[in-house]
Amino acid sequence: MLTIHAAAESGLHPIPDAESLSSLPDNAVWLDLYHPSPEEEAQVEAWLGIDVPSREEMREIEISSRLYEEDGALFMTVLALYNADQKYAGTTDVTFILKDRYLITVRHADPRPFSLFLQRAPKLGPACRNGEFVLLGLIEAFIDRIADVLEHAGLDTEQIAVETFERSETRKKPMTTEDFKVVVGRIGLAGDLTSKARESLVTISRVLVYLTSGAGEIRLSKDVKTHIKTALRDANQLSDHASYLANKTVFLLDATMGLINIEQTNIIKIFSVAAAAMMPPTLIASIYGMNFSFMPELHEKWGYPAVLVLMVLSALAPFLYFKRKGWL
């Protein structure tokens, strides 16, 4: 789908029936290619004289394939986070192309920063008459969205830690195997979300550094450069915070695995104590199971109950000893 946004006094407004246009409108600023068809790509290429990258080309991980200049245009690809509110978040490649005063975006998913930016676009004012400002606004929307995601991930990690350690400390409701499975799963999801957010921030930082380094023949205005430096500082700070959350997630996972090991040790300890307590009764039963001809107490009336009492006492003695030592 091709959507063309034109500049007005109040901000950006979409042009209806953009696919049917034979030429690019004079006030067009932003061309958004969302799941573009070959015909739409060819139309944009004919209008602007550029080669729109394919989905396979956008997935290239080399920096030279993500940040480059071609035909007088700057091509910049970032890794965007989407579905962060769902159970399993994903990442998708988004390519920004700056050509003259136009911005072209190529994407095959719908990250939330696009919808958030589109909500504000009609009220941005005359500043968005240039594609540079639209690019900057989109990048800032990406950074703001990642900040919200990291904030929620941090709160979720803190909640997991409180629930796990409080229940392990109070022992009022001991955690079962299913509880531990749920906790480990939540930690894994939080760690995965944090790592994807940090990966997205790294690619965004590369784009901002690429722009500030005077890449290509496009010369950015001083206002844009100032805003880019601010966005770069925010991205770097969020990247540091994402690293902190990643380390905290690893610590929480290690602590949870330690609690699991403690529970397993307690179970093994119970079996060991039970086995040790049953050894004396087993010995007594084995002695009286011998087939000797002369065992006088076997013919006494008190023999059987006496042996039973002796077996119970021999089982209680190790249990009380372990209890006194604090091994139970």
The answer to whether residues 233 and 306 belong to one domain is no
The answer to whether residues 44 and 166 belong to one domain is yes
Q: What is the pLDDT of residues 293-305, one digit of tens each?
A: 777 777 777 777 8
Please determine, for residue 171, whether its predicted confidence score (pLDDT) is greater than 70: no
pTM: 0.75
The answer to whether residues 200 and 312 belong to one domain is no
The answer to whether residues 230 and 149 belong to one domain is yes
CA torsion, points 286, 289, 291, 295, in degrees to nearest 10? Answer: 90
Q: What is the CATH number of the domain that holds 117?
A: 3.30.460.20
Dihedral sign (CA 259, 263, 268, 274)? positive
The answer to whether residues 240 and 317 belong to one domain is no
CA pair distance 113, 282, nearest whole angstrom: 72
User: For residue 302, what pLDDT is reported?
Assistant: 78
User: For residue 223, what pLDDT is reported?
Assistant: 74
The answer to whether residues 194 and 271 belong to one domain is no
Which residues share a beta bridge with 31?
4, 104
The answer to whether residues 106 and 242 belong to one domain is yes
**Domain end among 220, 238, 263:** 263
Which residues share a beta bridge with 79?
93
Hunting for tokens 């179970």 — which residue is that?
267
* The most confident of 9-18, 50-59, 194-203, by mean pLDDT: 194-203
Average pLDDT, integer, range 161-181: 69
**Domain end among 223, 243, 263:** 263
Average pLDDT, integer, range 60-79: 82
The answer to whether residues 32 and 157 belong to one domain is yes
Number of domains in the chain: 2
- Crossing angle (nearest 10°) for helices 303-325 and 222-287: 150
CA pair distance 114, 137, nearest whole angstrom: 10
CB proximity list for 183: less than 8 A, separation 6 or greater: 160, 163, 164, 175, 256
The answer to whether residues 172 and 310 belong to one domain is no
Q: Is 26 helix (H, G, I), strand (E, B) or coil?
A: coil
The answer to whether residues 39 and 51 belong to one domain is yes
The answer to whether residues 108 and 162 belong to one domain is yes
User: For residue 217, what pLDDT is reported?
Assistant: 60
The two tokens of residue 292 are 């000797």
- What radius of gyration, in Å, describes the C-alpha atoms of the chain? 34
Provide, rounded to the nearest whole percent, the portion of the chain with pLDDT above 70: 91
How many CB atoms are located within 10 Å of the residue 231 CB?
22
**What is the DSSP annotation of 116-167?**
HHHHHGGGSGGGGGSHHHHHHHHHHHHHHHHHHHHHHHHHHHHHHHHHHHHH
Q: What is the CATH number of the domain that holds 311?
A: 1.20.58
Helix H, strand E, coil C: the string for 251-309 is HHHHHHHHHHHHHHHHHHHHHHHHHHHHHHHHHHHHHCCCCCCCCHHHHCCCHHHHHHH
CA pair distance 137, 128, nearest whole angstrom: 9
Q: Domain containing 29: what range?
A: 2-263
Q: What is the pLDDT of residues 6-46, one digit of tens each?
A: 777 777 777 777 666 777 777 788 888 888 888 888 888 88
Q: What is the pLDDT of residues 201-259, one digit of tens each?
A: 988 888 888 888 766 566 666 777 788 888 889 888 998 888 888 888 888 888 888 87
Dihedral sign (CA 60, 205, 247, 161)? negative
**Domain end among 263, 289, 305:** 263
The answer to whether residues 155 and 275 belong to one domain is no
Average pLDDT, integer, range 184-213: 86
Dihedral sign (CA 151, 155, 158, 160)? negative
User: For residue 214, what pLDDT is reported?
Assistant: 65
The two tokens of residue 275 are 């086995």
Burial 268-287, CB ≥16 within 10 A → b, else e: eeeeebeeebeebbeebeee
Average pLDDT, the chain: 81
Average pLDDT, integer, range 262-282: 78
